[in-house]
Structure 1
């Protein structure tokens, strides 16, 4: 929390807004990890999710939350993402993350299968305490679209402290890099455009580290 104290005045400013969210969309250029995944039989979506959440974990600003009126810093958060179930309706996958890539992918794939198979809406957080609900980063992928903008539904704008990350369709194979549309919504009391920039840099670096 030491780092947060350097921006508490920014938080207090934006916490007074009816809608304190910052919402940025961009086209990301990243190392093309698909050949790496194909050679190792790793699903590219789950590999990307692993790198993304690992990168989020490395930047304090994305880990600040508000609980009982106080700013806290979470230590861990769930792996989660949206899926379509058998009726082509939205559902939520949730799992305990692992720092090990293979184990993360195994858990992520299994959670997705459970969500896809359920006609009922699951993993909404109804089973979690208010404090446990803070241990989240919300993720969604729209692989059919060259996404240009997104506005997520929020229960209460004023209390929305959990980052929401979305991305669209990967570009066609074209060489050493791929591009994808990418969006982040976060509480402006915690996150500025610079921190989004840091996250995208860290994401590219993490992918590069893993694919060598």
Structure 2
């Protein structure tokens, strides 16, 4: 479900108008979160680290209202729930797009993720579809080969886009911490650095504790 935002009373109306006129309205940053507890929890639960941190990231996105805004036909809508359109890899090192529905339960979320991973393995090409092109998603990618400190995205500026883009890189050990690089890019008409900070705080909380239920 989604609700139309009344631009005439919205506190971000001028911000939205200003940045929406830019050829590149997105801004992004890279930060690190400590995934040591999450990595240990994934091992103890017998689930993949990828499943756990993707679920944590998606839970954090849903906790930040600004990351649930989308621009459609010049209007701003607030979605009740956001899912994941993640790039998933094949054994031949190509990738494809996916649609993974959000679920508070880590186990239920894992069922959808596993099904999409298998569908990608059995397919060819990018798997472009109405499901992977839905607006109520985040674009998510994992780059486990590189501990990156910066990241850019291929973008078609002529194509309207307001979907947040989140990428996670290779973790590195620093003492007892397992530091995970996270890149997040958002439309500046919908969100600011403050909201990105809220996401990173929520992501860290989820990695530490996991507010979503396991079963």
Match of 2:54 in 1: 49
SS at match of 2:146: coil
CA distance, structure 2, for counterparts of residue 40 and residue 50 of structure 1: 14
Q: What is the TM-score normalised by the length of structure 2?
A: 0.86
1:86–1:117 CA contact under 8 A, matched in 2: no
| CA RMSD of superposed structures (Å) | 2.3
Q: Distance in 2 between matches of 1:96 and 1:158?
A: 24
More helix by share: 1
- Count residues with an aligned counterpart: 206
Moved over 6 A (4+): none
Alpha-carbon distance in structure 2 between the residues aligned to 1:87 and 1:93? 17
2:73 corresponds to: 68
Is there any run of 5+ residues in structure 1 with no aligned partner, and where? none
CA distance in 2, matches of 1:60, 1:139: 18
Distance 1:143 1:173, change over 3 A: same
Tell me which residue corresponds to 2:16: 11
Structure 2 unaligned residues grouped into runs of 5+:
none
Tell me the alpha carbon deviations over residues 147-189 of structure 1, each in whole angstroms, 9 at most, x when there is no partner. 12211112226722100001100124853x3201111111001
Question: For the structure 1 residues 89 and 112, does the alpha-carbon distance in structure 2 shift closer, same or farther, using more than 3 Å as the test?
Answer: same
When residues 128 and 31 of structure 1 are mapped into structure 2, their CA distance, relative to the original with a 3 A threshold, is closer
Partner of 1:137: 138
Counterpart of 1:166 in structure 2 is 167
Q: Distance in 2 between matches of 1:108 and 1:20?
A: 31
Partner of 1:86: 91
Q: Give the TM-score normalised by the residue count of structure 1.
A: 0.88
* Contact persistence 1:10–1:189 (CA under 8 A): yes
